[in-house]
């Protein structure tokens, strides 16, 4: 199964809430956040791509292809997803944000099981009473729909998901795994 799936780490934002610094490169206990996510996601997939729009050489140093958005101006996670869907050669793509270092070790398996069982186009993780849209597994064949959505000027992930056959996957048993680090205070709180 994992050979059919490409992992995408979303690290293309501006880090506004982190004071304008690149969140993926901020260190937690001596390791950049993106490295935490790589260590958890890589064993679950056949290969990994990193979506980034700044510090590309530093991200490339982690040994995986780095893709800038095809749309300019930090257009959001869907722009990173678009670039990855255009590059991926597998039938499925799973996404995880660079600021969630504790993602579940069984994220991909559980999303994949639900996607297949429900014959869905996209599976999204849910916990704590809400969808965690940056953690999703989707079919690569959705690229033309995403291209059209972005070409129409839309950028909202939830709105795009609403147009698809989506299955929500309950991760209430691992809700803490979806904690994300958006600010310097968050970084300090999660440090050991």
pLDDT attached to residue 73: 64
Residue 54 pLDDT > 90: no
Mean pLDDT confidence for 90-118: 96
Q: Which residue has the higher pLDDT, 19 or 3?
A: 3
Mean pLDDT confidence for 53-62: 93
pLDDT attached to residue 3: 85
Residue 35 pLDDT > 90: yes
Residues 145-154 have pLDDT tens digits of 999 999 998 8
Q: What's the CATH number for 2-190?
A: 3.90.550.10
Residue linked to tokens 């958005």 = 69
pLDDT attached to residue 190: 80
Residue 46 pLDDT > 70: yes
Q: Tell me the C-alpha to C-alpha distance, in Å, between residue 155 and each of 11, 48, 128, 133, 152.
A: 16, 24, 24, 13, 9
Mean pLDDT confidence for 98-125: 96
Residue 13 pLDDT > 70: no
Mean pLDDT confidence for 88-116: 95
pLDDT attached to residue 185: 78
pLDDT attached to residue 15: 53
Q: Tell me the C-alpha to C-alpha distance, in Å, between residue 70 and each of 16, 67, 123.
A: 21, 9, 24
Residue 71 pLDDT > 60: yes
Residues 156-176 have pLDDT tens digits of 988 989 999 999 999 999 988
Q: What is the largest CA-CA distance in the chain?
A: 45
Question: Where would I find the beta strands (DSSP E) of the chain?
Answer: 5-11, 27-28, 31-32, 47-52, 66-67, 92-97, 122-127, 130-139, 166-170
Q: Where are the domains of the chain?
A: 2-190
Residue 16 pLDDT > 80: no
Q: Cα separation of 24 and 34, whole Å?
A: 5
């Amino acid at each position: 199964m994992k050979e059919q799936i490409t992992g995408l780490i979303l690290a293309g934002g501006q880090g506004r809430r982190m004071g304008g610094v690149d969140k993926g490169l901020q260190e937690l206990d001596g390791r950049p956040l993106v490295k935490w996510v790589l260590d958890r996601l890589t064993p679950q997939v056949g290969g990994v791509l990193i979506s980034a729009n700044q510090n590309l050489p530093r991200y490339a140093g982690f040994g995986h292809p780095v893709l800038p958005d095809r749309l300019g101006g930090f257009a959001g996670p869907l722009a990173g997803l678009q670039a990855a869907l255009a590059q991926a050669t597998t039938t499925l793509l799973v996404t995880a944000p660079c600021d969630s270092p504790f993602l579940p070790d069984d994220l991909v398996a559980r999303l994949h099981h639900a996607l297949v069982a429900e014959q869905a186009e996209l599976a999204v993780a849910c916990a704590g009473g809400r969808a965690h849209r940056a953690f999703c597994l989707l079919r690569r064949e959705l690229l033309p729909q995403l291209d059209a959505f972005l070409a129409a000027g839309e950028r909202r992930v939830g709105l795009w998901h609403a147009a698809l056959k989506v299955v929500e996957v309950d991760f209430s048993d691992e809700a803490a795994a979806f904690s994300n680090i958006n600010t310097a205070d968050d970084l300090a709180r999660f440090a050991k």
